[in-house]
Amino acid sequence: MQVAKDDKELLGMIDLEAPDLLILDLEIPCGGGLAVLENLQHHIPPVPVVIHTFLTEYANHPVIQEQASFVEKMANTDVLKAAIVEMLRKRYPDRFGILGEPVQSHGSVEKQRESDDE
């Protein structure tokens, strides 16, 4: 996990190594979150984005509707967690099993079996 102080730092980080998922607040300093989304529209590979913000008036903005999930900031983080899982399932379906649960690597399964045997 990485944190950027403003949109310029964020875009620089993405240029160096695209993240598996971006959680973006529209109130990010400098150009703002919409500028970041517009910049990412042509990024290859596409960067999955979950917007997490107090600015609910942007929920139906065309750029957000086209390329991001929108979650209003509130005390309950379960909604954010669900949006993150949904976005990851959509973008990386091979990382999730038939029932939608994350697939364990072979090493993790072996470690679990060793623990069970003890």
Q: What is the CATH number of the domain that holds 69?
A: 3.40.50.2300
pLDDT tens digits for range 37-89: 998 988 888 899 999 999 999 999 998 988 899 999 987 899 999 999 999 99
Give the CA distances from residue 22 to residues 2, 74, 102, 114, in Å, rounded to whole numbers and listed in that order. 10, 18, 19, 35
Q: What is the pLDDT of residue 112?
A: 39
Is 109 a residue whose pLDDT tops 90? Answer: no
Residue 2 lies in a domain: no
Domain count across the chain: 1
Residue 20 lies in a domain: yes
User: What does DSSP say about strands 22-24 and 49-53: parallel, antiparallel, or unpaired?
Assistant: parallel
Residue 24 lies in a domain: yes
- Give the domain extent around 72: 7-117
pTM summary value: 0.76
Residue 106 lies in a domain: yes
Residue 44 lies in a domain: yes
Angle at 66 between CA 27 and CA 19, to 5 degrees: 65
Residue 1 lies in a domain: no
